[in-house]
Amino acid sequence: MNKNTNWLGLTVMAVGGAFMMESAAQAIPTLQLDVGDGWYNKADQTIYSSGPSFTLYALLNKPKEAEDALKRTYYISAAVESKDGAVPDIAKNLGSFSVNGEKIDVTSDMTFGTPPLTELPDVQGKTLSPHGIFPTFYYEFDFKFSSLKQTTPYDAQNNPGGFSTTGKGMYYAAFSIDTSSLAAGYSIHFDLYDETVKEISERIKTGKKYTTVTHDQVSIDEFAPNSHDAQSGHRVPDGGASLSLLGFALAGIAGLRRTLGAKV
């Protein structure tokens, strides 16, 4: 009786474990962005870089429909954001940044307007772009994922900077970003979406079909959720301030001990 119970228990655990693994795999968004050595800011639900130069990763998690997904064209928009949230001054020199070594001048090489993703309203209860104030300068580039570039599937929100050069199951494209020449007080926000979002956005801008977007016209699988966007920046991650305060406190205690020791 005990043996049967044990076997039943092990079977239930095995099935339950498999279900949990499957659920975890399904929880990973189809499209997401990540930053090498990045950190997640809970305040605006964005993955930030730890410095001005970093690797931006575009991730595709669609193993069951890989053949079709790899044929599609994907886009990344790089939008300028000011620290105070104001619309950038088009007459001001805002510097430049680079993508894979290609210099992008903010005023002459970028478009002033609204990035494609911001043209879409809420889709399936997801607000697409709460980041920053538009219009702004933005630069858009396209790419395709390769079956030769794969990594172990992971959720960038829960494990920012968790990209690995080993493993299979998730496709990736890597881009070298340098924002060190960007004007002070400005950063670059990155959005990822596929050709369907791009097409619908263009139709909206030209006043053609889809002036009102419905769930049937665009799916949340066709763009990276807000919580999986990326941005350049030098902000201290949550807990950084606490660590600094702890350091000051320890230094103060050490100084007090030295003072008291001298009086004894």
pLDDT tens for residues 135-167? Answer: 899 999 999 999 999 999 999 999 999 999 889
pLDDT tens for residues 6-15? Answer: 444 433 333 3
Can you give the pLDDT at residue 221? 67
The whole-number average pLDDT for the span 195-219 is 64
Can you give the pLDDT at residue 225? 81
The whole-number average pLDDT for the span 223-238 is 74
Query: Which pLDDT band, with edges at 50, 70 and 90, does 104 fall under?
Result: very high
DSSP sequence for the chain: -HHHHHHHHHHHHHHHHHHHHHHHHHHS-SEEEEETT-EEETTTTEEEPSSSEEEEEEEE--GGGHHHHTTS-EEEEEEEEETT-PPP-TTS--BEEEETTEEEETTTTSEEE--GGGGS--BTTB-S--SS-SSEEEEEEEE---TT-EE----TTTSTT---SS-SSEEEEEEEEE-TTBPTTEEEEEEEEEHHHHHHHHHHHTT-S-SS--TTT--GGGB--GGGEEE---PPPTTHHHHHHHHHHHHHHHHHHHHHHHH-
pLDDT tens for residues 108-134? Answer: 999 998 777 665 655 544 444 445 557
Domain boundaries, given as residue ranges, for the chain: 30-237
Tell me which residue of 250, 254, 237, 96 sits closest to 177, measured CA to CA.
96
> Does 40 have pLDDT greater than 50?
yes
pLDDT above 70 covers what percent of the chain? 65
Instruction: Work out the angle at residue 43's Cα, subtended by the Cα atoms of residues 77 and 45, and round it to the nearest 5 degrees.
Output: 40
Can you give the pLDDT at residue 42? 92
Identify the residue with better confidence: 102 or 125: 102
Max intra-chain CA distance, the chain: 85
Identify the residue with better confidence: 1 or 55: 55
Can you give the pLDDT at residue 196? 80
Can you give the pLDDT at residue 171? 95
Can you give the pLDDT at residue 218? 59
> Does 257 have pLDDT greater than 80?
no
pLDDT tens for residues 162-185? Answer: 999 889 999 999 999 999 999 999
Can you give the pLDDT at residue 62? 82
Q: How many CB atoms lie within 10 A of CB 133?
A: 12
Burial of 139 per CB tally in 10 Å (0-12, 13-18, 19+)? buried
Can you give the pLDDT at residue 117? 64
Q: Could you tell me the two tokens for 2?
A: 């005990």
Can you give the pLDDT at residue 119? 56
Identify the residue with better confidence: 59 or 22: 59
Bridge partners of 96, per DSSP, are: 105
Q: Are 97 and 104 in contact (CB under 8 A)?
A: yes
* pTM for the whole structure: 0.74
Can you give the pLDDT at residue 54? 97
> Is beta strand 46-48 parallel, antiparallel or unpaired with respect to 229-231?
parallel
Q: Could you tell me the two tokens for 251?
A: 């230094």
Tell me which residue of 58, 17, 6, 3 sits closest to 36, measured CA to CA.
58
